[in-house]
Amino acid sequence: MAKRESAWKGMSKTMRKKVFDYAEGYKSFLGKAKTERKAVDEIVSLAQENGFVEMDSAKDVRPGTRLYCVNRNKSAALFVVGKRPIAEGINIVASHIDSPRLDLKQNPLYEDADSEVALFKTHYYGGVRKYQWVNCPLALHGKVILGSGKEVEMTIGEKEDDPIFIIPDLLPHLAYKVQNKRKLPDGIRGEELNILVGHIPIEDKKVKEKIKLSVLNHLNKEYGMTEEDFVSAEFEAVPAGHPRDLGFDRGMLVAYGQDDRACAYSSLTAMVDLKTPARTCLAFFFDKEEIGSEGSSGVQSRFFDIVLSDLMEKMEPGYRDMDLRKMIARSKSLSADVEVAIHPTFKEVHEMTNAARLGRGIAITKYTGAFGKARASDANAEYVGQIRNLFNQKRIPWQAAELGRVDEGGGGTVALFLARHNLDVLDCGPPLLAMHSPMEVSSKADIYNSHRAYLAFFRSDLGPTA
Ligand code: MN
Ligand code: MN
């Protein structure tokens, strides 16, 4: 019988300490990496601290060399060069660093004269359950390109004494007709996700929208912004505040953005822990997964090809295109993305023999997709066998899982886009509760075991599957 139990059961004191210590670094990363841009900043700074150098500036590439490259400040790749010839293929872990959130529209600012407030209009990004984002403390992370071309960054709402922002919900007393009769997905509609941002009017009799102007004056004074600058800006409203321990025993933690920064952080720290692996290792951190992996910073962009050709050119100068294609075909990859943990209250969405449990280790998901495995990459049994044996050998707790009951719904990852390059791909990541909500829940044991799993994978030299 396959052993299926909590990783906490029988855990040694030493391992328990490692699990809890690791969670502190993870929380600190999540607290800073609130957007894809900030995740890139954190990845680069941790990489630089640990001897990774910018790919273009690297001259002498040999086993043990550590490289990184960044694409448009929104996606990144880290390499550690291995001892084996690159022609034999490399080991890739790909995660995503974007998370569901509320983006400001291009013309976001307006004043509502009846309620004496100024607000920002938003357009949600990724799969959010809109009702969860009202009455939730929000912070704004902005990158603005001013008319002068100057770039300005701002973060408001993350420090203790910063102001925060909020989308006010309707009070129960008056919600009967207008809101209570709606179905839940419609409880708050997209155009109702308007964020309160200002209240005090300026003292100027000639101006009509005095509160709006007061907000604009503030932005101009603090950041040199004008109203038109919103057009060339990216403002992301995300849940304000920091990751926290959850429960009396502190075995879980709750934080925004664990999908998929859980895998980004655990694969990043695995790269940092590598010395000189057998095979060259590559960690990808992609953007735009939550909206279909499109865009120049998503996994479907040519960034993938460019970094691999760049590395190939450094290791095998003058290589032919077919050498690169064959190298990729001999590569192994993990699509590092979070799974769904069994919900203690809504069990009917899961099929219990194939659902992931919090605390049982990293989840291996052979196929994702929905309604008959549509848009799944469906890993080969041969490759799943290699990964399963690797985790067993290294005594890494793992579980095999799928996302919900058949035909209940579903979801995807970057696996199918990796698979288009013709290499072995398997979905693999820790399970979460309350995924895509402002407060996602994970087990500290699963986060640390994901780190161990990615590290074991990077160190492995598994051989061909076919
Ligand atoms: Mn994800
Ligand atoms: Mn997601």
Here the CATH number for the domain that contains residue 379 is 3.40.630.10
Give me the pLDDT at residue 189, please. Answer: 98
Distance (Å) from CA 459 to ligand 1 centroid: 24
Overall average pLDDT of the 433-453 stretch: 98
Distance (Å) from CA 60 to ligand 2 centroid: 38
Q: How many other β-carbons are positioned within 10 Å of the β-carbon of residue 238?
A: 23
Give me the pLDDT at residue 3, please. Answer: 72
**Interval 333-359: pLDDT, tens:** 999 999 999 999 999 999 999 999 999
Indicate which ligand has the atom closest to the C-alpha of 261.
1
Geometric angle at alpha carbon 140, from 107 and 297, rounded to 5°: 80
Distance (Å) from CA 89 to ligand 1 centroid: 26
Q: Is 386 helix (H, G, I), strand (E, B) or coil?
A: helix
Distance (Å) from CA 339 to ligand 2 centroid: 9
Same domain, 115 and 95: no
- Evaluate whether residue 247 is within a structural domain: no
Same domain, 343 and 319: yes
Distance (Å) from CA 98 to ligand 2 centroid: 9
The Cα–Cα gap between 400 and 260 comes to 19
Q: 300-315 burial string, b = 16+ CB within 10 Å, else e? A: bbebbeebbebbbebb
Write out the two tokens for 8.
């906490």
Are 375 and 340 in contact by the 8 Å Cβ rule? The answer is no
Distance (Å) from CA 126 to ligand 2 centroid: 7
- Evaluate whether residue 465 is within a structural domain: no
- Evaluate whether residue 445 is within a structural domain: yes
Give me the pLDDT at residue 9, please. Answer: 97
Distance (Å) from CA 106 to ligand 2 centroid: 24
Indicate which ligand has the atom closest to the C-alpha of 126.
2
Question: How sure is the predictor about 376, in pLDDT bands with cuts at 50, 70 and 90?
Answer: confident
Does this model's pTM top 0.95? My answer is: yes
Distance (Å) from CA 64 to ligand 1 centroid: 30
Range of the domain at 111: 101-239
Indicate which ligand has the atom closest to the C-alpha of 125.
2
**Interval 90-110: pLDDT, tens:** 999 999 999 999 999 999 999
Virtual CA dihedral for 413, 414, 419, 420, nearest 10 degrees? 120
Give me the pLDDT at residue 260, please. Answer: 97
Overall average pLDDT of the 452-460 stretch: 98
User: Where would I find the H helices in 152-273?
Assistant: 210-223, 258-273
Indicate which ligand has the atom closest to the C-alpha of 263.
1
Q: State yes or no: pLDDT of 1 exceeds 70.
A: no
Question: How sure is the predictor about 420, in pLDDT bands with cuts at 50, 70 and 90?
Answer: very high
Give me the pLDDT at residue 60, please. Answer: 87
Same domain, 269 and 229: no
Same domain, 177 and 277: no
The Cα–Cα gap between 182 and 373 comes to 32
Distance (Å) from CA 125 to ligand 2 centroid: 11
The Cα–Cα gap between 135 and 79 comes to 42
Overall average pLDDT of the 62-87 stretch: 97
Question: How sure is the predictor about 219, in pLDDT bands with cuts at 50, 70 and 90?
Answer: very high
Give the end of a domain, one of 239, 267, 300: 239
Give the end of a domain, one of 176, 209, 239: 239
Same domain, 233 and 331: no
- Evaluate whether residue 180 is within a structural domain: yes
Question: How sure is the predictor about 270, in pLDDT bands with cuts at 50, 70 and 90?
Answer: very high
Distance (Å) from CA 102 to ligand 2 centroid: 14
Q: State yes or no: pLDDT of 37 exceeds 70.
A: yes
Q: Is 158 helix (H, G, I), strand (E, B) or coil?
A: coil
Q: Is 164 helix (H, G, I), strand (E, B) or coil?
A: coil
Q: Is 234 helix (H, G, I), strand (E, B) or coil?
A: strand
Same domain, 370 and 439: yes
**Interval 277-320: pLDDT, tens:** 999 999 999 999 999 999 999 999 999 999 999 999 999 999 99
Give the end of a domain, one of 192, 212, 239: 239
- Evaluate whether residue 248 is within a structural domain: no
Report the mean per-residue pLDDT for the chain.
96
Same domain, 432 and 302: yes
- Evaluate whether residue 43 is within a structural domain: yes
Give me the pLDDT at residue 369, please. Answer: 86
% the chain with pLDDT above 90: 93
- Evaluate whether residue 279 is within a structural domain: yes
Query: How many independent structural domains does the chain possess?
Result: 2
The Cα–Cα gap between 23 and 14 comes to 14
Q: What is the amino acid identity at position 344?
A: P
Distance (Å) from CA 432 to ligand 2 centroid: 11
Indicate which ligand has the atom closest to the C-alpha of 429.
1
Give me the pLDDT at residue 438, please. Answer: 98
Same domain, 224 and 264: no
Same domain, 210 and 317: no
Same domain, 74 and 147: no
Distance (Å) from CA 7 to ligand 2 centroid: 25
Same domain, 43 and 182: no
Q: Is the peptide bond before 103 cis (omega within 30 degrees of 0)?
A: no
The Cα–Cα gap between 136 and 158 comes to 13
Same domain, 65 and 170: no
Give me the pLDDT at residue 411, please. Answer: 86
Here the CATH number for the domain that contains residue 120 is 2.30.250.10
- Evaluate whether residue 276 is within a structural domain: yes
